[in-house]
C-alpha cells in the first residue's frame, strides 16, 4: 500500500518528522512491524541491527617494556532496546560504516592500556583474562554509543624480532621435544617388544605344532605296531590260556590223586592203628582187671588161710600159758580177760598181715604165708617171754 513501510527483521525503522520520539529524540523507532508513513510529511531511514565486525591490529608495550603486535577481532551490534537504537541512530545513521572504525579505535586504546599493565607471560598464558578486562573497560563507552559487544578474540600476539616469546617457550619446547623423543622411544620399544612377542608366539606355535605332529606320528606308529602285534599277542594269549587250563587240570588231578592216596593208604593205616590201639587198650584193661581179680583172689585166699590158722594161733598162745605160773585174782572174769587178750593179739597179727598185702600189689601167696608165719613166731616169742617172766598177777 502506498505510504506503508515495513522494516526488515535485522533493521530498525526511524521515522522523522511529526512528533518526537522517546526521550525527545528527533525520530520514532519502529521494529518488528510496519507503519503507515505519510509521504512528503515524514521521512523514513533504516538502521541495521545485524552483527558487525571490527578488527584491531595494534602495537602495544608490556609492563616489561617489550613491544608486542596484537591482533584482535571484535563482534558487536546495535542494541535491540529503543534507547540503544536512538543513540546509535543519532551517531551512525548517515554513515553506518563508522561503527566498525570507532569500535576498533575504542578497543585499540583499551587494549594498549590493559597490555601495558601485564607481563608477556601473563598476556601469552592468560589471553582470556586479557579479553575479559578489555571488554569490561569498554562496556560503558560502547553502551553510550548504542553498541553492545558479543565477543572479543585475541587472534595473535607477536614480539617481532625480539625473540622473547620464543625464548620463553624454549624450555617448554625442549620439554615437549624431550617428551616427544621419550614417547617416540617408548613407541619404538613397544614396537620392538611387540615384534619380539610376535616372534615368540610364532616360535611357540611352531613348537606346539611340531609336538602335536610328533604325538600324532607316535600314535600312528603305536597303532600300527599294535595292529602288527595283535595276531601274535592273540595267539600267545590263547596259548597262555591253554597252559593255564592244563595247569589247573594237573592241579586238580594231583588233588584227586592225593585224596585217593589218603583214602587208599592213610585212612586204612589210621584205621589199623586205631584198631591196634583199641585192642592194646582193651588188652591192658583186661590184664588190669585180671591182676586186680588175682590180687583180690590172693587176699581172699590169705584171709581164708589166716582165718583157718587163727584157732591154731590162739591155741598156741593158750598152750604157752599152760606151763606158766599164772595167778588169777578175779576168778572167771580174770581168766576171760586173759583169753580175750590172746585173741586180740591174734587179730592184730592178722590186720598187720592184711596191710602188708594191700601195699604190695605184686606180692604172692608165699609172701602172705611168710607174713603169717612171722606172726606166729612173734606170738610164740611172746608166749616164751610170758613164760620166762614167771607168775602173772591179775588184779
Task: Return the SS3 of 199.
Answer: helix
Whether the CB-CB separation of 147 and 90 falls below 8 Å is answered with: no
Q: Per-residue pLDDT averaged across 124-138, rounded?
A: 87
> Which pLDDT value is given to residue 207?
92
Identify the helix (H) or strand (E) that includes residue 148. strand 147-158
- What is the pLDDT of the chain when averaged over all its residues? 78
Backbone Cα Rg of the chain: 85
Q: Please, which residues have CB within 8 angstroms of residue 70's CB and are 6 or more apart in sequence?
A: 56, 57, 58, 59, 60, 111, 115, 154, 156, 157, 158
* 107-114: average pLDDT: 90
**How far is residue 35's CA from residue 6's CA, in Å, rounded to a whole number?**
6
Residues 27, 7 contacting (CB under 8 angstroms): no
Per-residue pLDDT at 203 exceeds 90: yes
- What is the rounded distance in angstroms from the CA atom of residue 123 to the CA atom of residue 131? 10
Render pLDDT for 11-46 as a digit per residue (tens, 0 to 9): 888 888 767 666 667 788 888 887 778 777 788 889
Is the overall model pTM greater than 0.75, yes or no? no
Least confidently predicted of 129-133, 269-273, 339-343: 339-343
Amino acid at each position: 500500500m502506498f505510504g506503508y513501510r515495513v522494516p526488515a527483521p535485522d533493521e530498525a525503522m526511524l521515522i522523522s518528522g511529526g512528533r518526537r520520539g522517546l526521550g525527545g529524540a528527533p525520530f520514532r523507532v519502529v521494529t518488528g512491524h510496519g507503519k503507515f508513513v505519510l509521504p512528503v510529511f515524514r521521512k523514513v531511514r533504516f538502521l541495521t541491527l545485524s552483527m558487525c565486525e571490527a578488527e584491531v591490529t595494534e602495537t602495544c608495550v608490556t609492563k616489561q617494556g617489550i613491544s608486542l603486535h596484537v591482533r584482535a577481532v571484535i563482534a558487536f551490534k546495535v542494541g535491540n532496546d529503543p534507547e540503544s537504537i536512538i543513540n546509535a541512530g543519532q551517531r551512525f545513521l548517515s554513515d553506518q560504516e563508522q561503527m566498525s572504525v570507532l569500535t576498533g579505535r575504542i578497543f585499540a586504546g583499551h587494549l594498549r592500556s590493559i597490555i601495558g599493565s601485564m607481563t608477556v607471560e601473563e598476556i601469552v598464558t592468560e589471553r582470556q583474562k586479557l579479553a575479559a578486562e578489555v571488554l569490561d573497560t569498554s562496556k560503558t563507552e560502547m553502551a553510550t554509543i548504542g553498541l553492545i559487544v558479543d565477543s572479543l578474540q585475541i587472534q595473535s600476539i607477536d614480539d617481532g624480532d625480539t625473540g622473547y616469546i620464543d625464548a620463553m617457550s624454549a624450555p617448554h619446547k625442549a620439554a615437549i621435544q624431550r617428551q616427544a623423543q621419550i614417547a617416540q622411544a617408548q613407541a619404538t620399544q613397544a614396537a620392538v617388544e611387540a615384534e619380539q612377542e610376535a616372534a615368540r608366539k610364532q616360535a611357540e606355535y611352531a613348537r606346539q605344532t611340531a609336538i602335536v605332529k610328533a604325538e600324532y606320528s607316535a600314535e600312528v606308529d603305536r597303532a600300527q605296531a599294535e595292529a602288527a602285534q595283535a595276531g601274535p599277542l592273540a595267539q600267545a594269549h590263547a596259548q597262555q590260556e591253554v597252559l593255564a587250563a592244563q595247569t589247573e587240570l594237573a592241579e586238580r588231578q594231583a588233588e584227586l590223586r592225593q585224596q585217593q592216596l589218603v583214602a587208599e593208604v592213610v585212612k586204612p593205616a589210621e584205621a589199623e592203628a586205631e584198631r591196634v590201639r583199641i585192642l592194646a587198650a582193651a588188652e591192658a584193661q583186661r590184664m588190669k582187671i585180671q591182676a586186680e581179680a588175682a590180687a583180690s583172689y590172693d587176699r581172699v585166699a590169705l584171709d581164708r588161710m589166716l582165718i583157718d590158722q587163727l584157732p591154731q594161733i590162739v591155741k598156741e598162745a593158750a598152750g604157752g600159758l599152760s606151763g606158766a605160773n599164772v595167778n588169777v585174782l578175779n576168778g572167771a572174769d580174770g581168766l576171760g580177760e586173759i583169753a580175750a587178750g590172746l585173741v586180740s593179739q591174734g587179730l592184730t597179727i592178722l590186720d598187720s598181715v592184711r596191710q602188708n598185702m594191700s601195699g604190695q600189689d605184686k606180692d604172692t601167696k608165699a609172701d602172705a604165708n611168710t607174713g603169717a608165719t612171722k606172726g606166729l613166731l612173734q606170738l610164740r616169742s611172746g608166749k616164751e617171754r610170758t613164760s620166762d617172766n614167771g607168775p602173772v598177777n591179775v588184779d
